Structure 1
């Protein structure tokens, strides 16, 4: 017997989180970050581990979050595996470098994965307190074409984490290449109104930084997550986003429009 339309209820989509780890220090940190995030947002978790991963260590971590719906698969082609998985997940998580990276900077997988991902991507990096989410702040970097998505995503996460929300807009110093989405107060006011619409009980802290946009990354101290856009050019990350992936003092979430 068919259920009348007025009695049927919509099927709620359960968030999905995918994590790639190679058992390195930052691979382990990314796994711990993904586990905590999946728990807070009630998401299913898919773990892709490299041959260098310690399966028993992964099992011990999963046992701490045993109520999560999680699975583990070994992958021999991490870049291809993660990019393929990004088509069927809501959030992709990886550490900013792994076993094969011995210099300062980021691992060779980070830029290709963040650039090619079909979903939001978090690169876990930064100082220990930020990685452990101990500061209690989520920061949204606005001033570009993806502001609405950035603010929505940051607001959703801050609400789930029960964190404060900081919105930062870097107002460029005078110069021939200075580009902005409007006057600084207009940009911040639009963001404030959107937060009020998405989460009426959340009052964001608004900050206008007079600097080059990439220098504003340094203002994200005492934050647990920096949420930003990929840039305006398809299949190419902006210099600001690349700077954040290299230098941010906290994990970076790059939204996928």
Structure 2
């Protein structure tokens, strides 16, 4: 679908793995403004598609990494309409969609795809077995291209891990597992948010994700989180500085925290330590 020199659009901030992959493929990335609650800005998408030759759009519609944003259903419908109108493939990463905190799973962009313009990707890497590396794609009208790419890169998938995951999905145990992990992550999220707001300097902003396991934290403009990262490491604490989620010079006072670890008093103290370090700058 793309070749070196082509342009793709993404939300911003965006998962650094997408940026690294795009660079390795020789693609030019246009990072579009993103609301930390509702996801990529539709007006920016419209203007970019109308003024540029875009070959693909890559985004996470549910609980984006790193912001935790979730696109409203109307936004998902509209972005699918736009991609269909301009004939731009939408590569949707829905890997966190099953990790919702509400009463029902959010829809994805693929739900509203009638023409096959959306390639929806997901995996059990964030919900069940990271080491198995088992995932899938609903390719829409790009099935031939996906099969060709898979043949070039991997030829075939390991059958044992696929069989294990398939059996787990088939017997209903996966849904029980998801219910438990969603409850744990929801509690973790609340604990993280409360501790950050209690411990960090006044004016610190924290995202309010409705699923997934990432928090986006915005600190005072004077704090460079790249330097803060090295300061935190001296205390055996790791953060993801905001700068790594963009090719542009932005988000330098932001950071991503993961609340995927089990909540403990030690973890609470680590967040409090981060807060004290932030106050000392």
Does TM-score exceed 0.5, indicating one fold? no
Q: Is the helix fraction higher in 1 or 2?
A: 2
